């Protein structure tokens, strides 16, 4: 089932709603959309869960307004979807830029109604290096990426597809992957990358007490594995699951392990807090 849900006057986002049971709300990576989780949607529905895949504003089938690509606005859009669908006892699953957006959601709206958090190759606690954070990309690298998007977006997507995965993919798969990225608005991609460059959730992790699983590829060239280590240190109720043969697209590099660990976490009663 598909929904087009109004998240603010005149702006609607597209949501895929598949299966029945406990809802799992997936927030996708830049510059993709919820279709990237098609394998997970099937597995969840087969195992008694409800897949909720949001196309963030500016991406996929959602509206593409000029503004509203900061973490705060994106978190409010997720809240609008959850409220409209009257979702309870949800699992939040944030991938790449979806990581800081889901953390911001918990900071703004609290943990009530949320049972667990899954962070996948998260661009958190900060995508870029800061005075108080030495990991991540340099701001100049992000500025160069924005410039490349402006000059030749299709070529940049082709280059991005090649570095996204650690394991070789077919030409057909890479073409499909690129097509998902090119469904995004060019301005949406740029504004979201500016948000990644300028915002962070460094000061928000202490308030997250939910059982949290951190899935991250050891060979990730977009969000280095050091980010996952920092999240694990700073989130008191978290477990880190490394994917040794994976790049940023860990769910396609090691799909069997990813889906097994995902279902293990979703079906578990929780994780043991760190001392």
Q: Could you give the residue numbers annotated as active site?
A: 96, 220, 248
Distant-in-sequence, close-in-space partners of 108: CB < 8 Å, separation ≥ 6: 72, 75, 76, 79
Calpha distance 101→167 (Å, rounded): 28
3-state class (DSSP) for residue 6: strand
Q: Which helix (H) or strand (E) holds 115?
A: strand 114-120
Calpha distance 155→164 (Å, rounded): 14
Q: Are strands 11-18 and 22-27 parallel, antiparallel or unpaired?
A: unpaired
Hey, what are 230's tokens? 């920092």
Report the candidate in 68, 60, 65 with the shortest Cα–Cα distance to residue 28: 60
Q: Which helix (H) or strand (E) holds 146?
A: helix 139-151
């Amino acid at each position: 089932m598909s929904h087009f849900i109004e998240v603010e006057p005149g702006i609607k986002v597209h949501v895929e709603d598949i299966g029945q049971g406990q809802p799992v709300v997936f927030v996708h990576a830049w510059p993709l959309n919820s279709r990237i989780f098609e394998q997970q949607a099937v597995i969840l529905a087969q195992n008694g869960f409800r897949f909720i895949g949001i196309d963030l504003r500016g991406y996929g089938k959602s509206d593409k307004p000029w503004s509203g690509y900061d973490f705060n606005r994106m978190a409010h859009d997720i809240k609008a979807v959850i409220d409209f669908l009257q979702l309870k006892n949800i699992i939040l699953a944030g991938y790449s830029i979806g990581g800081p957006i889901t953390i911001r959601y918990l900071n703004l709206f609290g943990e009530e109604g949320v049972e667990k958090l899954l962070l996948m190759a998260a661009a958190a606690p900060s995508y870029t290096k800061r005075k108080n954070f030495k990991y991540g990309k340099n701001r100049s690298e992000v500025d160069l990426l924005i410039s490349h998007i402006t000059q030749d977006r299709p070529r940049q997507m082709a280059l991005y597809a090649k570095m996204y995965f650690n394991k070789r993919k077919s030409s057909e798969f890479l073409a499909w992957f690129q097509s998902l990225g090119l469904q995004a608005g060019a301005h949406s991609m740029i504004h979201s990358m500016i948000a990644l460059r300028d915002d962070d959730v460094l000061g928000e992790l202490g308030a997250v007490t939910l059982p949290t699983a951190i899935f991250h590829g050891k060979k990730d060239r977009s969000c280095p594995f050091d980010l996952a280590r920092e999240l694990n240190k700073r989130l008191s109720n978290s477990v880190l699951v490394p994917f040794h043969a994976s790049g940023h697209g860990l769910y396609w590099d090691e799909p069997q392990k990813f889906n097994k660990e995902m279902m293990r976490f979703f079906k578990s009663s929780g994780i043991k807090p760190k001392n």
